[in-house]
Protein backbone atom coordinates (compact mmCIF):
# COMPACT_ATOMS: atom_id res chain seq x y z
CA UNK A 1 0.00 0.00 0.00
CA UNK A 2 1.51 3.32 -1.02
CA UNK A 3 1.17 6.53 1.01
CA UNK A 4 -1.76 7.86 -1.01
CA UNK A 5 -3.68 4.58 -0.67
CA UNK A 6 -2.95 4.47 3.06
CA UNK A 7 -4.22 8.03 3.53
CA UNK A 8 -7.41 7.23 1.60
CA UNK A 9 -7.98 3.99 3.52
CA UNK A 10 -7.43 5.70 6.86
CA UNK A 11 -9.76 8.55 5.94
CA UNK A 12 -12.49 6.15 4.84
CA UNK A 13 -12.26 3.98 7.96
CA UNK A 14 -11.78 6.74 10.52
CA UNK A 15 -14.87 8.50 9.18
CA UNK A 16 -16.78 5.24 9.51
CA UNK A 17 -15.43 4.63 13.01
CA UNK A 18 -16.62 8.09 14.04
CA UNK A 19 -20.13 7.13 12.92
CA UNK A 20 -19.92 3.73 14.64
CA UNK A 21 -18.70 5.23 17.93
CA UNK A 22 -22.11 6.48 19.08
CA UNK A 23 -23.77 3.16 18.25
CA UNK A 24 -21.13 1.24 20.19
CA UNK A 25 -21.39 3.65 23.11
CA UNK A 26 -25.18 3.15 23.24
CA UNK A 27 -24.86 -0.65 23.19
CA UNK A 28 -22.24 -0.58 25.97
CA UNK A 29 -24.40 1.78 28.06
CA UNK A 30 -27.46 -0.47 27.62
CA UNK A 31 -25.89 -3.30 29.66
CA UNK A 32 -27.79 -3.33 32.98
CA UNK A 33 -25.37 -3.17 35.91
CA UNK A 34 -27.44 -5.66 37.91
CA UNK A 35 -27.35 -8.21 35.08
CA UNK A 36 -23.84 -7.69 33.77
CA UNK A 37 -22.94 -11.33 34.57
CA UNK A 38 -25.53 -12.58 32.05
CA UNK A 39 -24.28 -15.01 29.43
CA UNK A 40 -26.50 -16.93 27.01
CA UNK A 41 -24.40 -20.08 27.31
CA UNK A 42 -21.79 -21.45 29.70
CA UNK A 43 -19.18 -21.10 26.95
CA UNK A 44 -20.07 -17.47 26.15
CA UNK A 45 -18.47 -14.41 27.68
CA UNK A 46 -20.53 -12.49 30.20
CA UNK A 47 -22.06 -9.23 29.03
CA UNK A 48 -19.59 -7.40 31.27
CA UNK A 49 -16.59 -9.25 29.84
CA UNK A 50 -17.81 -8.60 26.31
CA UNK A 51 -18.39 -4.88 27.00
CA UNK A 52 -14.93 -4.65 28.60
CA UNK A 53 -13.38 -6.37 25.59
CA UNK A 54 -15.08 -4.05 23.10
CA UNK A 55 -14.02 -0.86 24.88
CA UNK A 56 -10.50 -2.10 25.62
CA UNK A 57 -9.74 -3.53 22.19
CA UNK A 58 -11.15 -0.57 20.23
CA UNK A 59 -8.82 1.77 22.09
CA UNK A 60 -5.95 -0.76 21.99
CA UNK A 61 -6.14 -0.97 18.19
CA UNK A 62 -6.03 2.82 17.86
CA UNK A 63 -3.10 3.13 20.27
CA UNK A 64 -1.24 0.39 18.38
CA UNK A 65 -1.82 2.06 15.03
CA UNK A 66 -0.64 5.35 16.49
CA UNK A 67 2.49 3.75 18.01
CA UNK A 68 3.18 1.58 14.97
CA UNK A 69 3.10 -1.67 16.96
CA UNK A 70 0.38 -4.04 18.07
CA UNK A 71 1.52 -5.81 21.20
CA UNK A 72 -1.01 -8.17 22.81
CA UNK A 73 -2.27 -7.10 26.21
CA UNK A 74 -5.07 -8.03 28.57
CA UNK A 75 -8.37 -6.16 28.50
CA UNK A 76 -8.62 -3.30 30.99
CA UNK A 77 -10.13 -4.20 34.34
CA UNK A 78 -13.32 -2.28 35.06
CA UNK A 79 -15.55 -2.32 38.14
CA UNK A 80 -18.83 -1.24 36.56
CA UNK A 81 -20.62 -0.73 33.28
CA UNK A 82 -20.53 3.03 33.92
CA UNK A 83 -16.74 2.83 34.19
CA UNK A 84 -16.54 1.03 30.83
CA UNK A 85 -18.73 3.66 29.18
CA UNK A 86 -16.76 6.54 30.74
CA UNK A 87 -13.47 4.99 29.56
CA UNK A 88 -14.85 4.54 26.05
CA UNK A 89 -16.24 8.08 25.92
CA UNK A 90 -12.92 9.51 27.09
CA UNK A 91 -10.39 7.34 25.27
CA UNK A 92 -11.88 6.32 21.93
CA UNK A 93 -12.54 9.79 20.43
CA UNK A 94 -9.15 11.07 21.64
CA UNK A 95 -7.28 8.09 20.20
CA UNK A 96 -9.22 8.27 16.92
CA UNK A 97 -8.36 11.97 16.60
CA UNK A 98 -4.65 11.15 16.98
CA UNK A 99 -4.86 8.40 14.35
CA UNK A 100 -6.63 10.78 11.96
CA UNK A 101 -3.66 13.16 12.33
CA UNK A 102 -1.04 10.53 11.40
CA UNK A 103 1.01 11.27 8.29
CA UNK A 104 0.52 8.99 5.25
CA UNK A 105 3.96 7.40 5.62
CA UNK A 106 3.07 6.19 9.12
CA UNK A 107 -0.30 4.89 7.89
CA UNK A 108 1.47 2.90 5.15
CA UNK A 109 4.02 1.38 7.56
CA UNK A 110 3.77 -2.40 7.87
CA UNK A 111 2.90 -3.52 11.40
CA UNK A 112 3.27 -7.18 12.38
CA UNK A 113 0.58 -8.52 14.70
CA UNK A 114 0.22 -11.78 16.61
CA UNK A 115 2.63 -13.63 14.31
CA UNK A 116 -0.20 -13.92 11.75
CA UNK A 117 -0.57 -10.52 10.12
CA UNK A 118 1.75 -8.03 8.49
CA UNK A 119 -0.49 -5.23 7.29
CA UNK A 120 -0.11 -1.52 6.71
CA UNK A 121 -1.22 0.47 9.76
CA UNK A 122 -4.26 1.83 7.87
CA UNK A 123 -5.49 -1.72 7.15
CA UNK A 124 -5.84 -2.39 10.88
CA UNK A 125 -8.59 0.24 10.95
CA UNK A 126 -10.70 -2.20 8.90
CA UNK A 127 -9.78 -4.97 11.32
CA UNK A 128 -10.81 -2.74 14.27
CA UNK A 129 -14.11 -1.92 12.57
CA UNK A 130 -14.97 -5.56 11.85
CA UNK A 131 -13.85 -6.75 15.28
CA UNK A 132 -15.99 -4.14 17.04
CA UNK A 133 -19.08 -4.78 14.93
CA UNK A 134 -18.74 -8.54 15.50
CA UNK A 135 -18.60 -8.23 19.29
CA UNK A 136 -21.12 -5.37 19.41
CA UNK A 137 -23.59 -7.63 17.61
CA UNK A 138 -23.00 -10.33 20.21
CA UNK A 139 -23.57 -7.86 23.03
CA UNK A 140 -26.66 -6.37 21.38
CA UNK A 141 -28.16 -9.87 21.21
CA UNK A 142 -27.71 -10.17 25.00
CA UNK A 143 -29.59 -6.95 25.80
CA UNK A 144 -33.24 -7.99 25.54
CA UNK A 145 -32.75 -11.27 27.48
CA UNK A 146 -31.12 -9.14 30.21
CA UNK A 147 -34.22 -6.95 30.33
CA UNK A 148 -32.59 -4.00 28.60
CA UNK A 149 -33.65 -2.03 25.56
CA UNK A 150 -31.97 -2.57 22.21
CA UNK A 151 -30.85 0.72 20.66
CA UNK A 152 -31.21 1.70 17.02
CA UNK A 153 -28.09 0.23 15.39
CA UNK A 154 -28.48 0.34 11.59
CA UNK A 155 -32.15 1.08 11.62
CA UNK A 156 -34.88 1.11 14.16
CA UNK A 157 -35.37 -1.50 16.83
CA UNK A 158 -38.55 -2.34 18.72
CA UNK A 159 -37.21 -0.25 21.62
CA UNK A 160 -35.86 2.65 19.57
CA UNK A 161 -37.83 2.90 16.29
CA UNK A 162 -36.23 4.60 13.33
CA UNK A 163 -37.28 8.22 12.99
CA UNK A 164 -37.27 9.62 9.50
CA UNK A 165 -35.91 13.15 9.21
CA UNK A 166 -38.56 15.82 8.65
CA UNK A 167 -36.99 16.58 5.25
CA UNK A 168 -37.39 12.97 4.01
CA UNK A 169 -40.31 12.27 1.74
> HEC states along 76-136?
CCCCCHHHHHHHHHHHHHHHHHHHHCCCHHHHHCEEEECCCEEEECCHHHHHHHHHHHHHH
Whether 169 maps to a domain, the answer reads: no
Whether 157 maps to a domain, the answer reads: no
Whether 166 maps to a domain, the answer reads: no
Tally of structural domains, the chain: 1
Whether 95 maps to a domain, the answer reads: yes
Task: Read off the CATH number of the domain in which 132 is found.
Answer: 1.20.120.450
Whether 158 maps to a domain, the answer reads: no
pLDDT of residue 156: 80
Nearest Cα neighbor of 24 from 96, 79, 77 is 96
pLDDT of residue 169: 59
Instruction: Provide the domain limits for residue 120.
Output: 3-146
Whether pTM exceeds 0.75: yes
Burial 72-111 (b: 16+ CB within 10 A, else e): eeeebebeebeebbebbeebbeebbeebeebebebbbbeb
pLDDT of residue 104: 96
pLDDT of residue 165: 78
Beta bridge partners of 119: 111
Nearest Cα neighbor of 106 from 93, 117, 122 is 122
pLDDT in tens, the chain (169 residues): 899 999 999 999 999 999 999 999 999 999 999 999 999 999 999 999 999 999 999 999 999 999 999 988 888 899 999 999 999 999 999 999 999 999 999 999 999 988 788 999 999 999 999 999 999 999 999 999 999 998 888 888 887 788 887 886 5
Amino acid sequence: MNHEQAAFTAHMFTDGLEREYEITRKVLAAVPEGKKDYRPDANARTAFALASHIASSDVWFLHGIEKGELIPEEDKQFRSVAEIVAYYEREFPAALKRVKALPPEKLAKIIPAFGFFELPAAAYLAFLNNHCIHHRGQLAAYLRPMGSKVPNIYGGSFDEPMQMPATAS
